Amino acid sequence: MRIIQRIVTSVLPRKWAASLEAESREWIIACPCGYSNSIWEMGGIRWKAKGNRTFLMMCRQCRERTSHTLSRRPSDEVV
């Protein structure tokens, strides 16, 4: 868990912190090469958010700077 995740989860009530982590794990950032990872695993937080975004960033797998799509996958689809 990264420092920002520790700070936020320590300040919030336990029920909210659990909800924040569960929802952040549902948000997946994906590269066109096929690599994907949850926002939580990357050290980020996304809670009570809507809509899809696109980020230009370096892919951990193909090592190229490409546009990554951030979208929410229901918890039954998350691997």
Distances (CA, A) of 77 to 3, 24, 51: 28, 14, 18
pLDDT at 2: 86
Distance of alpha carbon 54 from alpha carbon 59, whole angstroms: 13
CA angle 33, 71, 2 (to 5 degrees): 90
pLDDT at 61: 93
How is the chain split into domains, by residue range? 3-72
pLDDT at 14: 94
> For the segment 7-62, what is each residue's pLDDT rounded down to a tens digit?
999 999 999 999 999 999 999 999 999 999 999 999 999 999 899 999 999 999 99
